[in-house]
Amino acid sequence: MQTAICAFIAFGVTALSGMWLVPMLRKLSFGQKILEIGPNWHKSKEGTPTMGGIMFIIGILAACCAAFWFLKDEPSAEKIRFSSGILMALGYGLLGFIDDYTKIAKKQNEGLTAKQKFIGQVLLAVMFLVGLQISGTLSTAVIIPFLGQIDLGIFYYPLAVFIIVGASNAVNLTDGIDGLCSSVTFVCACGFMIMSTILGHLGMTYLAAALAGGCAGFFVWNCHPAKTFMGDTGSLFLGGMVCALAFGINYPVILVFAGIVYVIETLSDIIQIGSYKLTHKRVFKMAPIHHHFEMCGWSEWKIVIVFCLVGLAGAVVSILAVNAI
């Protein structure tokens, strides 16, 4: 019942907040600039309000307030994991907000430089890990799905930073067409909700439920044709939330399966860039891969549905892996 309450609060607050946030973003002229290198039919979307991710950040925070009350009798370690996770996500959301606002101020689709964004992401990841380490809730033993675990010792920390920064950027890459990132993350959150329950991490169960509810509420406004885009404000926040869940259940490597769509999107980008630099030939019609399918004639709805099914398959494999621990 408490898990359902967290999900419904996040969904309700997010969906309802769009009623005032979307008009406000339009009034402030916070419209999205569309890159020239993107599909030419995306030009019709130019001017759609961006930074709409603020609405699910508000919704998820509201749900987290209720969740923290539900956790009042839980061990302090669970509260620390929960609090550290939402704080890291907020930090990533703030970084995305600065990036979005810079784009709007410059009236172009270039905000923070790649170096600035990378430094910010690394610092936030390090702060998150330091917090977990000080609280005694961090384990350097990495669980390998279906195989067992290995203690990496000091080498765990650079790997953990790499996973957090890489995953947050992967979620950001997935935000390319209407409803894709929010729907895929909804599926991922549902997977983590089940995994957290199996492993007995009540705080992470509530956090995953809040994330799922927030994504569902945002989809109301972001499904095709989108009335608002989440912007880097939203996508980086979602990346932080997904990482918080993976580390919160002490199973960060599970992101390979739970976040399979994010992995595929990132690999498609790496393959495209690598192939062009080495051979001057492109593997895909356009990268990330969701644009490739657009260029092949798939509708945005079809891409969203197929990618969600792929994400669902990854979530099922993740649950089976966790259940086998």
Band the pLDDT of 46: cuts 50, 70, 90. Answer: low
Mean pLDDT for the stretch of residues 201-226 = 93
Among candidate residues 186, 307, 204, 200, the one with its CA nearest the CA of residue 246: 204
Band the pLDDT of 172: cuts 50, 70, 90. Answer: very high
Interacting residues of 82 by C-beta distance below 8 A, sequence separation 6+: 64, 67, 68, 71, 203, 204, 206, 207, 248
Band the pLDDT of 224: cuts 50, 70, 90. Answer: confident
Distance (Å, whole) CA 264 – CA 275? 16
Percent of the chain with pLDDT over 90: 62
Residue 32 in tokens: 């999205």
- Top pLDDT among 215 and 143 is at 215
Among candidate residues 28, 34, 29, 36, the one with its CA nearest the CA of residue 46: 34
Band the pLDDT of 207: cuts 50, 70, 90. Answer: very high
- Top pLDDT among 34 and 244 is at 244
Examine the pLDDT at 257 and tell me if it is beyond 70. yes
**Exposed e or buried b for every residue in 164-178, given b needs 16+ CB within 10 A?**
bbbbbbbbbbbbbbb
Examine the pLDDT at 34 and tell me if it is beyond 60. no
Q: What is the DSSP string of 237-302?
A: HHHHHHHHHHHHTT-GGGHHHHTHHHHHHHHHHHHHHHHHHHHS--SSSSSSHHHHHHHTT--HHH
Distance (Å, whole) CA 96 – CA 83? 20
pLDDT of residue 140: 85
Examine the pLDDT at 81 and tell me if it is beyond 70. yes
Band the pLDDT of 133: cuts 50, 70, 90. Answer: confident
Q: What is the mean pLDDT of the chain?
A: 89
Band the pLDDT of 317: cuts 50, 70, 90. Answer: very high
CB 201 within 8 A of CB 249: yes
Range with the lowest mean pLDDT among 125-134, 191-200, 313-322? 125-134
**Exposed e or buried b for every residue in 113-133, given b needs 16+ CB within 10 A?**
eeeebeebbeebbeebbebbe
pLDDT in tens, 136-162: 778 888 888 777 788 888 899 999 999
pLDDT of residue 112: 81
DSSP state of 73: T
Residue 268 Ramachandran class (φ > 0 left, ψ -120 to 50 alpha, else beta)? alpha
Percent of the chain with pLDDT over 70: 93
Examine the pLDDT at 67 and tell me if it is beyond 70. yes
Q: pTM to 2 decimals?
A: 0.92
Band the pLDDT of 42: cuts 50, 70, 90. Answer: low
pLDDT in tens, 259-274: 999 999 999 999 999 9
Any idea what the Cα angle at residue 323 is, between residues 318 and 324, rounded to 5°? 100
Mean pLDDT for the stretch of residues 299-317 = 95
Q: Which amino acid is at 210?
A: A
Examine the pLDDT at 45 and tell me if it is beyond 80. no
Distance (Å, whole) CA 87 – CA 128? 8
Distance (Å, whole) CA 234 – CA 211? 12
Examine the pLDDT at 189 and tell me if it is beyond 60. yes
Examine the pLDDT at 94 and tell me if it is beyond 90. yes
